[in-house]
Structure 1
Amino acid sequence: MSVLAAPSPVLAVPGAVAAPPGSPDESVPWHYGDPLGEQRAAIERVAVVDRSHRFVLTVTGAERLSWLHTITSQHIAGLGQGRSAENLDLDLNGRVLHHFVLTELDATVWIDTEGDRGPGLLDFLTKMVFWADAQPREAADHAVMSLLGPGVATLTGVLGLDRLPETYEAVAVPGGGFLRRMPWPTADSFDLVLPREQLMSRWSELTAAGAEPAGSWAYEALRVAAVRPRIGLDTDDRTIPHEVNWIGGPDEYGAVHLDKGCYRGQETVARVHNLGKPPRRLVLLHLDGSADERPAPGTAVDAGNRAVGVLGTTIDHYELGPVALALIKRSVPADTQLTVGSTAAAIDPDSVISDDTPQAGRRAVERLRGR
């Protein structure tokens, strides 16, 4: 068993409860006895979440950024010191294979992604090096921990910092690693990428300083409420970036820049952006809480007797109750009555992003046709 697949030492903390078998988060704590209260702590105070099952890798070499720029969807050729971005690896048809976060710090690009997809991403990057001065390597000796809530500002002294980073900025932490601010799942979200050997000592320091332990349940509930997809749970082998709100540069908190050079899958991205519409869209569903069991990810979402989508992450939120993400056909109105198995569901209208603006390419075609 690899280091990344092994159970986290934080699971030995008193009160830590493991996720159900088969969960992608079963190697880290699911909750500590009060999953809804842990969510509230992450919104109102400060919570620390063990995400050490993330796969971490590094890319070094003089051409690391220019090389990554040519083979991925984000505009990162000029990414500055201490800056971060979200990025995608697409297949030839523009379908999403990998989603990852990267940070440029001290002549190294740090990348973290889903644990089960990390080896595949590393394999792709390694095969694409060719003659470039870039060296991708697994960094199994590093792990990810997240800090959530307005109270993170009280932890700067414990971390040895004099300030918190801005969104998508990373600052080095004395003793190793860095703290990076993210725009989700909450307004105050930070990832601490640290040497794995420091995982328990940092955990102890942060909780002693007031950070409340929160499990993956809390993190996932807040992510779902923010309508942020998780690859493999909220996407399938047909997903294109437009369907799950991943279009946009770093300033737009996206993972696909629409004004950059050629990369694998770009033709589909450009065609949908300029001429078409995505066939599906990611929405937040409110589920009937009276059902005995929550429907499982992958269950069909039906409108009457017609399947119109597929369910993604399903979870109980501390304020919204049972909610889920789902990929729904774009033609389905937001007020459509839906069912997921035997459970009634409704689309949250605030999660539906309007995409009815005429595209530049479509307008140009209409002008050529004299319309």
Structure 2
Amino acid sequence: MPTLLDTLSARDGAIVDGAAVAHFGDPMREQRSLAAGTAAALLGDRRVVEVDGVDRLTWLDSITSQALAQLRPGTSTELLILDPQGRVEHAAGVFDDGTTTWLIADAPDAEGLAAWLQRMVFRSRVTVTIRTDLELLGFFAGGPAEAAMAAAAAAPNDVSLVWSDPWSAVQSGGHQYSQVATHPAAEYHWRVAIVEADAAASALSSLDAAGLMAAEALRVAAWRPRWTAEVDERSLPHESDWIRSAVHLNKGCYRGQETVAKVHNLGHPPRRLAALHLDGSADVLPENGAGVFSGDDEIGHITSAVRHFEDGPIALAILSRRAPTGDLVVRAAGVEIAAAQQVIVPADAGATADIPRLTRLSRRPEGQDPRKA
């Protein structure tokens, strides 16, 4: 029997990348449709982890960065699992329907997340299961896609629910390090429907289809960190401003909390996330891991690079805390790409940081060299 991926792969122009469709021939148009709420994307690069049992919320509260013990049914949030030194090991979106907690994790991390949770059960009354039978559809609120997903969620299926990405606003107990007057996440009304295959196919039948490239471009434009991109073996949540949505600073003890509190209270995380507007004249998009330079000094690396339908080529990069705040250069495929930097996490980010508010970089005309901006 054909899967939903098989059905979408048969559409004109579809380019398949692993378990998902990268695009359907026109990534820029797909971005516009997705942002307008008239399209949805099959998120084959993510998985669902089901957590059942009467102790599920208090148990998750005790072992993760988020306050979940009193999570109300129908509420969406996000959690991180940290190692004893406060470094990010796992990340997941969270939705509780009153009887079950659903976690959305990047596919490379889902099995590791589920295995770690199972090791932590001990005497708690919980069960942990990866649900490979469920489909994930990403869309933006405020358009026909939202109505189609609401109809799918109302269908008589065993599982039909919608997770609202909390990145669009600073969450209770969180803290934002970015000093921009208007954060681009304010327009990032991202939703993920968790539905059975039949309901997913029905919802997509009335919508435009978008690929993962479109979803990634809109994520990067919103400065939204992701486990598969912005996280490495050294990552602290402070470095990518992840405190704003995934960490509750006033909850009880959990693994890594001491580091979270120390870095937040004293400030100065060792690295910082920055947004880069790339010179598009070379027509080269750097790969993840490409070096970022100030003069001859390598001061960081690209974590996500995309072509945005309005902003042109843009990227997120993890830089050294001491990296200069001016224009930089990215070296990729033997080409030097000029990059205008927007500071996201300031060098002295923390609870007591006192930094003048910065304006967000304005969108520049296509082809303008950022070195002359």
Fold conserved (TM > 0.5)? yes
* Contact preservation (8 Å) 2:264, 2:349: no
Partner of residue 14 from structure 1, selected from 11, 14, 32: 11
**Per the alignment, do residues 358 and 243 of structure 1 end up closer, same or farther by CA in structure 2, a change over 3 Å counting?**
closer
Partner of residue 226 from structure 1, selected from 215, 222, 227: 222
Gaps of 5+ in 2: 169-184, 354-373
Structure 2 residue 275 is the aligned partner of structure 1 residue 279: no
Q: Percent identity?
A: 36
- How far apart in 1 are the matches of 2:147 and 2:4? 27
- How far apart in 2 are the matches of 1:72 and 1:325? 26
**CA drift at 1:284:** 1.1
* Aligned AA (2:160): G
**CA drift at 1:201:** 3.1
**CA drift at 1:149:** 5.2
* Residues 248-303 of structure 1, C-alpha deviations (whole Å, 9 max, x = no match): 3xxxxx10111111111111111101123111111111112122432211111111
**Per the alignment, do residues 239 and 318 of structure 1 end up closer, same or farther by CA in structure 2, a change over 3 Å counting?**
same
Q: Give the total of aligned pairs.
A: 330
What is the aligned partner in structure 1 of residue 45 from structure 2? 53
- How far apart in 2 are the matches of 1:107 and 1:301? 47
- Structure 1 length as normaliser, TM-score? 0.82
Counterpart of 1:116 in 2: which secondary structure? helix
1:104-253 equivalent positions in 2, closer than 5 A: 104-148=96-140, 150-152=142-144, 155=147, 159-160=150-151, 174-175=156-157, 176-183=159-166, 186-204=187-205, 208=206, 211-248=207-244
**Per the alignment, do residues 121 and 299 of structure 1 end up closer, same or farther by CA in structure 2, a change over 3 Å counting?**
same
**CA drift at 1:357:** 7.0
Gaps of 5+ in 1: 1-5, 20-24, 162-170, 249-253, 362-371
Structure 2 residue 281 is the aligned partner of structure 1 residue 290: yes
Partner of residue 338 from structure 2, selected from 325, 345, 362: 345
* Aligned AA (1:240): L
- Structure 2 length as normaliser, TM-score? 0.81
- How far apart in 2 are the matches of 1:154 and 1:131? 40
**CA drift at 1:173:** 5.2
1:296-315 equivalent positions in 2, closer than 5 A: 296-315=287-306
CA RMSD of aligned residues (A): 2.4
* Residues 115-169 of structure 1, C-alpha deviations (whole Å, 9 max, x = no match): 111000000000000011111111112121012253147725x7438xxxxxxxx
* Residues 318-363 of structure 1, C-alpha deviations (whole Å, 9 max, x = no match): 11111111001222232233233323232443x52446477469xx
What is the aligned partner in structure 2 of residue 368 from structure 1? none
* Contact preservation (8 Å) 2:267, 2:352: no
* Aligned AA (2:339): A
What is the aligned partner in structure 2 of residue 3 from structure 1? none
* Contact preservation (8 Å) 1:234, 1:327: yes
- How far apart in 1 are the matches of 2:349 and 2:106? 34
Counterpart of 2:66 in 1: which secondary structure? coil
* Aligned AA (1:317): H
- How far apart in 2 are the matches of 1:187 and 1:155? 18
**Per the alignment, do residues 282 and 353 of structure 1 end up closer, same or farther by CA in structure 2, a change over 3 Å counting?**
closer
